[in-house]
Chain A
């Protein structure tokens, strides 16, 4: 069965420090995609970053990078130089070969001044 696991319900990070949010996935598909979304308290879903299963390089978008380890089936999100505005829920998601997209349970990140 296809599944996304995020084992950290809550995380704290000091402002300006880096933080890694864990994500592991389970699929038998050869072709798939991995996303990270941010959901602040407003409820809006904000796209952060995307990694295709055949992409050889890890995706980066500004302060966000995705540490993709295909053999371990992990797709951890790294946020560098944390800011107070980074406090939010973070969801890892996977697009299957049939383009269905499933989400993990999320990690709540709190940035401490």
Chain B
């Protein structure tokens, strides 16, 4: 596709259930980012993948959160035993490989997944 695709767009779940959020980046983009945005707040960094390198997981808030990226493309963010405080919009972004000319040095964002934990 032409842009970053996230699914589902909305997810309602019960407290204690596990959820999986999917991100399909722009073809050829080696970098993939996950952010969490609570209502009215800024973007909280969660995790960053760059090519085949080990991901930067420094933003994951607890061990209930994990993410993987298969084949350097699609990524899945998994939240286990969801809590009400996990309710937020989860945004995925991708960008072109390092060394790209600065004229296209930017993140392309998906539309996000609105997660509601009841």
Contact = CB atoms under 8 A, between A and B. Distances in A.
A100 B55 CA distance: 10
B42 interface: yes
Given A99-B48, A103-B45, A47 B102 contact: no
A58 to B, nearest CB: 13
A99 B102 contact: no
Given A44-B111, A45-B91, A45-B93, A100 B106 contact: no
Interface in A21-59: 33, 35, 43-45, 47, 50, 52, 55
Contacts of B91: 45
B12 interface: no
A45 B48 contact: no
A102 interface: yes
B57 to A, nearest CB: 11
A104 to B, nearest CB: 6
Contacts of A95: 105
Contacts of B98: 99
B118 interface: no
Interface residues on A, range: 20 to 34
- List the 4 shortest-distance A-B pairs measured between CB atoms, nearest first: A45-B109, A103-B43, A105-B42, A47-B106
A91 B48 CA distance: 19
A55 B105 CA distance: 13
Nearest to A50: B105
Interface string A78-111: 0000000000000101010011111111100000
B109 A44 contact: yes
B26 interface: no
B105 A102 contact: no
Contact of B43 (A50, A55, A91, A100): A91
B94 to A, nearest CB: 11
